[in-house]
Amino acid sequence: MKVKVFCANTMQDAINQVKTDLGRDAVILQTRRLKKGGLFGFFAKEQFEVMAAIDNIAKVAVQQPNPSYYPNTPPPAKSFSPHEDHGILALRQDVSNLQKLMEHVVTALPGTAPTASPLVDLLISNDVEPDVARVLTQGLPEIMDESRLVIMKELLRDRISGRLKRVEIISPHNASCQIAAFIGPTGVGKTTTIAKLAANFSLKEGRRVALITADTYRIAALEQLKTYGDIIGVPLDIVYTPQELREAIARHRDKDLILVDTAGRSPKNQQQLQELQTLLAVEPSMQVHLVMSTTTKYREALEVVNRFSECSPTKFLFTKVDEAANIGTIINLLYRFPMSLSYITTGQNVPDDIEIADPQKLANLLSRN
């Protein structure tokens, strides 16, 4: 690992030096403000120091993946030979019998057998949890012919859209500045979503928007939002500490909307989540959107929500609906948690691929075959 310290008159200049010298994959280890020069402490110039590192070994590893990271490819199956001895043939027969027995046992387990209700089956095939599917279909007939099934599906869609009705979006108004922060696991689409929202509110609705990023871990992350900010024409402030976030918010109180980006956090890293909580606590009026990818399997999503709950998010924002096979995870989470829905995103295009969550549309997606 190569570690270097960079010093400049502004934080941006120091970051630029890091980028030129170590590249976009550099990791920022520490930043600080200091006073240099002057006489007896007077006339000292403010300087910004950034300690950054680049992991050369990791780079090599990315370029030449270690074959042992990949699951072992099974050796090609031996073709059946008439010369195999009796012992092997008997063993094959035993394995085959065991497999049949296992299949029988698995289909007989509760929850895995097909249910009597085609509506429950439809929901389960969309990854809706069985208990949620049962609640949603309660009171609807279990046995029905094709024509009744069409009507029942319509009823089911109404019920589902009723469940998804808790929609709360960002609605800037002239009376006060709205502040929204976006948190969630890495790579779910937080920064892209912020760019989409900033572009829509600023360019389409003519609102005064400011961006703040607390994602100072990677140079590439800073660059990403800076580029969007420049294109859209909105200012971006970079903050390293809760105090700096407080100051940046105070600087932009005259805006209609402040969007705060945060670094992706692993739900398993308690310390990172604690830091995030401390950061968000500086502004009680801040609405916190938990950004989740719709492609996340429900069990994993459940852990994400549980772990991020200490940062008190009040809204779900689901990304990558375009990539998801279904939206079972959305309904499962809304069934379990008293949070509302804000937006869904449907692709990588900034600013177009974002929509206000529409319960009816989502329900249509859920009950498709």
Ligand X SMILES: Nc1nc2c(ncn2[C@@H]2O[C@H](COP(=O)(O)OP(=O)(O)OP(=O)(O)O)[C@@H](O)[C@H]2O)c(=O)[nH]1
Of positions 209, 221, 239, 311, contacts ligand X by CB under 6 A: 221
Residue number, 191 or 200, with CB nearest to Mg ion? 191
Residue number, 264 or 328, with CB nearest to Mg ion? 264
Distance from C-alpha of 254 to C-alpha of 85, rounded to nearest angstrom = 85
Distance from C-alpha of 334 to C-alpha of 357, rounded to nearest angstrom = 13
Residue number, 16 or 348, with CB nearest to ligand X? 348
Residue 343: count other Cβ atoms within 10 Å of its Cβ. Answer: 23
In 3D, which of 239, 246, 284 has the Cα closest to residue 262? 239
Please tell me whether residue 267 binds ligand X under the rule CB under 6 A. Answer: no
Distance from C-alpha of 113 to C-alpha of 103, rounded to nearest angstrom = 11
Residue 323 near which of ligand X, Mg ion, none (CB within 5-8 Å, type-dependent): ligand X
Please tell me whether residue 322 binds ligand X under the rule CB under 6 A. Answer: yes
Please tell me whether residue 289 binds ligand X under the rule CB under 6 A. Answer: no
> How does DSSP assign 121-170, residue by residue?
HHHHHTT--HHHHHHHHTTS-SS--HHHHHHHHHHHHHHHHHHT--B---
Please tell me whether residue 348 binds ligand X under the rule CB under 6 A. Answer: yes
Please tell me whether residue 235 binds ligand X under the rule CB under 6 A. Answer: no
Residue number, 18 or 119, with CB nearest to ligand X? 18
* CB of 208 vs ligand X, minimal distance in Å: 23
Task: Tell me how many residues contact Mg ion (CB under 5 A).
Answer: 2
Of positions 153, 251, 347, 358, contacts ligand X by CB under 6 A: 347
- CB-based contact 164:363 (threshold 8 Å): yes
Of positions 19, 157, 163, 190, contacts ligand X by CB under 6 A: 190
Please tell me whether residue 345 binds ligand X under the rule CB under 6 A. Answer: yes
Chain residue at closest Cβ approach to ligand X: 264
Please tell me whether residue 191 binds Mg ion under the rule CB under 5 A. Answer: yes
Please tell me whether residue 130 binds ligand X under the rule CB under 6 A. Answer: no
- CB-based contact 302:341 (threshold 8 Å): no
Residue number, 117 or 191, with CB nearest to Mg ion? 191
Of positions 320, 334, 343, 357, contacts ligand X by CB under 6 A: 320
- CB-based contact 172:257 (threshold 8 Å): yes
Residue 320 near which of Mg ion, ligand X, none (CB within 5-8 Å, type-dependent): ligand X
Distance from C-alpha of 216 to C-alpha of 15, rounded to nearest angstrom = 10
Distance from C-alpha of 223 to C-alpha of 99, rounded to nearest angstrom = 54
Burial class (CB in 10 A: 0-12, 13-18, 19+), 222: buried
Of positions 23, 187, 233, 368, contacts ligand X by CB under 6 A: 187
Site stretch for ligand X (CB under 6 A), options 8-16, 231-239, 341-349, 355-363: 341-349
Beta strands at 354-356 and 340-345: parallel, antiparallel or unpaired: antiparallel
Of positions 189, 267, 313, 359, contacts ligand X by CB under 6 A: 189
* CB of 212 vs Mg ion, minimal distance in Å: 13
DSSP-derived 3-state class of residue 28:
strand
Q: What is the largest CA-CA distance in the chain?
A: 95
Please tell me whether residue 319 binds Mg ion under the rule CB under 5 A. Answer: no
Distance from C-alpha of 334 to C-alpha of 362, rounded to nearest angstrom = 12
Please tell me whether residue 213 binds ligand X under the rule CB under 6 A. Answer: no
Distance from C-alpha of 128 to C-alpha of 59, rounded to nearest angstrom = 40
Of positions 353, 357, 359, 362, contacts ligand X by CB under 6 A: 353
Contact residues for ligand X, defined by CB under 6 A: 186-192, 215, 221, 263-264, 319-320, 322-323, 345-348, 353
Contact residues for Mg ion, defined by CB under 5 A: 190-191
